[in-house]
A and B are shown apart, each in its own frame.
Chain A
Amino acid sequence: MKFLAILTGKLIIIAGNIMQRGSSLPGKLALKIDKNLLSKLKYPEIRIAVTGSSGKGSTSSLIAKVLKDNGYKVSYNDMGSNLTWGCTTSFLRKSSLTGKIKADVLVIEIDERDTKEMFPNLRPTHIVITNLTKDQPPRQHHIDNVYKDILKGITPNSKIVTNIDEPYLRSFERDTKNEMIYFSLEKNKYSYKNQIFENLNTYYCPYCKGKLEYEYYNFETLGKYKCTKCDFKNENAKVIGSNLDLENETLEINDNKLNIGGNFLYHAYNTLASFTTLKDVGLDEDKIIKSINKFNDYSTYSYEKNNKVYFPMSCKAENATTYNGVIFKTIMNKEKKDIIIGWKEISRRYAHFDVSWLYDIEFELLNSDSLNKVYAVGIDAENIKKRLVLAGIPEDKIIMAESIPEIKDMVNKDEVKYVYGILNFDYIDPFNETFKEEL
């Protein structure tokens, strides 16, 4: 059965016409022939699984690139799909007909809800959990469901690499006996003392349910916390990033500068997750930094046209944290600005119409004198407008439109230098096609 399953999968992979990015068909068929195939494959000695609500793609990709750069033979699901079928396809791509995956290291990005099937088969040496946040409520319901799914799959000898700045992630330390390897980002020039976001997941200690107190916040519930009732606190992370500089896209680890490959806070955390994992795998610190700095090259997402600077910023619909992240970035610029908010569709997975997640986003932070106009664009323009009005933004500053090309002339005539796009990923191309072309 195993042989037939592998052979079928490999033949389909070879059939060039279905060799599309992210194809999960070979894995699906192989698992249909042998449903226990995943338990029969021979995996490499080092097996790194990366999961979380967001950031798992870039974190796993960086880990794989650095390993390859340092001479390791790597199996990685870089063709797209992170669900069980897609992961299986990526294994088949690198496996012999006897099921031995021909690599020194397996790096695999796994959807957080598929970890419970994948982990027991893979028995990862390292489980990297980038974060757990509110995400796709109709699918996930709430964060505890995702947590429980991941917990179910965790194998006894796996080391868990995660972010100590997020108190909710300490639940893994509470509920498992696994070795925890934490990373942290020190207080930096963007940290703040009083909470600016509402409707967050965690306000209480995961151990005793006492109220958490913060010395500073880096973002949402990330920061230097301690419990007001027990001795639970954020201390003794194994890897600590300091001197975050988003303008230059760098942070420091042990006085060495590290490129973070972008100018958002999540770039810093994802890079720290990658660095921490690679260090524990046994790579030399200097070599990791050298490789990370090569791959995390300076990559600002903005561009200048017609005396304006455009910032297309990608978010994930139904994930308030990604929107809060770009809002946090937007308000760092105190200059007068236009903002464009919109998406093509909320979900590709289901046809439900749920806008509750819009109320988990802190649009209130955009309401300041530096806001010139805000454009609510796309199928949900009215709902976006309603949310902005309830965030206190004056109605005469809000303009609704059906598409981005429709607002092109208005935006370009506005007397502001900065144009921020707070967009679902499916609106990044329309934004760039509209504003990046020759004016």
Chain B
Amino acid sequence: MKIKIGHLYPYELTLYGENGNLKALKYALEQKGIEVEVTCINKEDSFDIKAYDFVYIGSGRPEFLEEIKERLEPYKKDIKDYINKDKVLLATGNSIAILELLRLYEIEYYDKRRVSDIEGTTSLYNGKIYGFQNTEYLIKTTKNILFSLEKGYGNNETCMEGYKKNNFYATSIIGPILARNDNLTNYLVETLIKNKKEQE
């Protein structure tokens, strides 16, 4: 079995050790004997989302966010198809503002950054979620949430954080969330294996 991972714009979205997520996922897949191929997709490259089993997009400097949103606009339908086919897309930190283009949720901008440790639970697995927030954007919509927070800022400043549709996961938590949460990584690994088996 071979899992193909696409890392979107790692030359622009490089704020907070974002590729730690891919290191954690790759390690967990390889521990199960699964071959992993990671492709970096930069602005010079074309983006064929269908070619991947897992796509990751992380936090970036604000000057890049709007530009990348425009760049992804032509791929909107492809990204939606990808999500509708249950393939895995993970967005962390302020990249949730880029993927607002999918019109699945609304985004709120805060002049005063929200900085906090994160502690909470999720319906994806039994156990906790830990992380860190350092963001000027939160999701406004409080439907289809990803995490219930005990500590941190949730969507629209409630205790409900993130967005989930099929296997599209969007969270304002920054950095290597998968490296800090083995449960979440294992959940994604199982999802990827299940998806792959169904394809075969």
Bound Cα distance from A41 to B116, whole angstroms: 40
Q: How many residues of A contact B (CB 8 A)?
A: 28
Chain B residue nearest in CB terms to A134: B15
B residues less than 8 Å from A204 (CB atoms) = 11-12
Q: Classify chain B's interface size.
A: 20 to 34
Interface stretch, picked from A2-10, A65-73, A193-201, A308-316, is A193-201
B16 touches A357 (CB 8 A): yes
A356 touches B175 (CB 8 A): yes
A residues less than 8 Å from B11 (CB atoms) = 203-204
A199 touches B132 (CB 8 A): no
B179 touches A354 (CB 8 A): no
- Interface digits, A92-130 against B, CB 8 Å rule (1 contact, 0 not)? 000000000000000000000000000000000000000
B44 touches A354 (CB 8 A): no
B residues less than 8 Å from A357 (CB atoms) = 16-17
Q: Which of B38-94 contact A (CB under 8 A)?
A: 42, 44, 61-63
A residues less than 8 Å from B14 (CB atoms) = 199-201
Known: A352-B115, A390-B23, A390-B27. A141 touches B134 (CB 8 A): yes
A353 touches B132 (CB 8 A): yes
Bound Cα distance from A138 to B11, whole angstroms: 21
Q: Does B19 contact A (CB under 8 A)?
A: yes
A354 touches B132 (CB 8 A): yes
A352 touches B23 (CB 8 A): no
Q: Does B117 contact A (CB under 8 A)?
A: yes
Q: Does B143 contact A (CB under 8 A)?
A: no
Q: Does B180 contact A (CB under 8 A)?
A: yes
Partner of B134, one of A144, A211, A354, A355: A354
B18 touches A352 (CB 8 A): no
A-B contact pairs, 29 of them (CB 8 A): A137-B15, A137-B134, A141-B136, A142-B61, A143-B61, A144-B61, A144-B63, A198-B10, A199-B10, A199-B14, A199-B19, A204-B11, A204-B12, A353-B117, A354-B16, A354-B134, A354-B175, A355-B132, A356-B17, A356-B18, A356-B175, A358-B176, A359-B23, A359-B175, A359-B176, A359-B179, A387-B20, A390-B20, A390-B27
